Structure 1
Amino acid sequence: GHLRGGDGLIAERPFRAPHHTVSAAGLIGGGSVPRPGEASLAHKGVLFLDELPEFRRDALEALRQPVEEGVVTITRSMTTVAFPSEFALVVSMNPCPCGNLGHPTAACRCTPAMLRRYLSRVSGPLLDRIDVRVALGPPAFEELSGGPADDDTESARERVALARRAQSERAGELSRRAADGRACGGARVVNARLEVAVLDDAVRATPEALSVVGAAVRKLNLSARGYHKVLRVARTVADLAGEDAVGAEHVLEALQYREVPGGPGRFGGRG
């Protein structure tokens, strides 16, 4: 019912950007006769949530299952329906209610209580399920005026394609070595979907990298989920660099991508 007549098969990956007033049922699906929500309509594509803290808390918390498992399960008295929902979750939010926290020239007008209240709208467990979290400063004039970029689209696409090919080959190797091919996530060959059971074999971390991860677990109070996500991101960083093993520099870069909203340099964290 979401396709226009004559559209046929979907040839492009979906991009869904629901408004922040969307309900939990609208976001993950529901109804007396279960219907898919935005999470399933974004399957194999991108689900973009702009101004994350403005979304309803129950709607955001309902995203935990699809983000973690790639499926939405809806149970009614007479039936249970599972909708696929493997999507790339992309979210954005201001650092504070006024938007100026950490700005190089503009002063933040928020009180500590206002900041705590704003940040508390997004739970720690949901943030813990987001692989990459970075704080972006205001763009420079050269960036706005179309100046030369550090990395052009074609070069980036080539590096990503090579990294994806490496991930696919590695997953195939792990499947052949495992008694059950599902141990590496079946057809889900990207690093984000690697099962914990094969993560160590896939990461191939050096002793120095393991030492850095161990220090991060102790000092940053990483949860088990956070620990595994750091390894997966570090594996991807190494793939983009064309490296077979994950080194300390790849882990350090992955740790930089775990910033906590509310200010630069704040890393997390247990959820």
Structure 2
Amino acid sequence: MTAIDTSKPHPARMYDWYLGGKDNYPVDEAMGQQMLALDPRVPVMARVNRAFMHRATRWLAKNGVRQFLDIGTGIPTEPNLHQIAQGVAPDARVVYCDNDPIVLAHAAALLRGTAEGVTEYLQADVRDPDAIVEGARKILDFSRPVALSLVALLHFVSDEDGAHELVRRLLSELPSGSYLVVSHATADFTPEESKAATEKLKAAGVTLALRSREEFARFFDGLELVEPGVEVPHHWHPELGEPVPGQNDGVIPGYGAVGRKP
């Protein structure tokens, strides 16, 4: 197993800290505290993202999707995606994918699914879509619709790393009737705080590629957006989940959307 680098903060471990988890290190908490100093709503943003994933997964399962490919899974925080999907459809098949060794160390927690369904974990990087496709094909039937979930991930992938191209490459392997689920941070509402956060994270070796609404919408080019389209995450089908405390205390600087491949 690849060694866990505790010398610099890692987005997945910071996210875990924001959610009140214990799978993080002092370097992650220190950077998290710096982010809180810039914008105290960061933990609320993390919970809003998580709640968006729950609602989107629930909507997809209720609308007949039985296969899920979740990239950038992060450290397990219950309920996980497979628990939501299999709670609606016990026969749902879920493949988790992440490149963080600490996620691999906790992968067993992601594999406790229903007897009727399938849950598997794939160690791979979103920047290597061929490896993801090759691994996922062994578990998922790519002749049937797949929901591709990229929640709170793409803002850590720069344009230089080809974020939009990576999404198009992954979608190209999926059949008609598949879906794309994305949530993403933006600087549209909080430009000064966002600029300061980007600079602090860059100095610590973490890429933060905040995108505008237009840039976010490009991920869905050629897809049919599910109503209500591109929205701040907590406004996307709020009836499918419980509100996150504090989500309406100011603007949540992010977008979420679900699109169907025709």
TM over 0.5: no
Q: TM-score range by the shorter chain?
A: under 0.3
Q: Which has the higher contact order (CA 8 A, sep 6+)?
A: 2
Normalising by the residue count of structure 1, what TM-score does the alignment of the two structures yield?
Answer: 0.24
Q: Answer 1 or 2: which has greater strand percent.
A: 2
